[in-house]
Amino acid sequence: MIYFILIIFLLLLMIGAAIYAVNQKDLLYAVIATGIISLILSILFYLLQAPDVALTEAAIGVALTTIIFIITIRNTVRYEEEEKTKFKSEVK
C-alpha cells in the first residue's frame, strides 16, 4: 500500500518538473528542473528492480549534463529574449 502512494507521488512530481522546465523564462531554473527529472528517474529505476541502470542514470544525468548546460549558459545569454521582429512583418 505504501509503495503505491510513493510511486504515484513520484510520477506527479516528474510531470510537474517537465512542465516547469519548458515554460520558464529564466534559463538557470529550467536546467535545474531537468536535473530533478533525472534524479526522480533514477529512484524509479531502482523501484523497477534494475540497479545497473539506476547507477548510470544517477551519475550521468544529474552531474555531467547539468554542468555542461551551466557552462553553456555562462558563455551565452541567461534570459530567454522577447520577440522584437514586429517591424519586419510590417515592411513586407
Residues that bind other proteins (CB under 8 A): 1, 4, 7-8, 11, 14-15, 18-19, 21-22, 27, 30-31, 34, 37-38, 41, 44-45, 48-53, 55-57, 59-61, 63-65, 67-69, 71-77, 80-81, 83, 85, 88
Q: How far is the CB of 90 from other proteins (least distance, A)?
A: 14
> What are the grid coordinates assigned to 26, written together?
529564466
- Contact yes or no for 2/29 (Cβ under 8 A): no
* Closer of 71 and 90 to other proteins (Cβ): 71
Q: How far is the CB of 37 from other proteins (least distance, A)?
A: 6
The size of the chain, in residues, is 92
Q: Which helix (H) or strand (E) holds 30?
A: helix 27-47
User: Which DSSP symbol is given to 33?
Assistant: H
Q: Which three-class secondary structure state does DSSP give residue 79?
A: strand
Q: How far is the CB of 21 from other proteins (least distance, A)?
A: 6
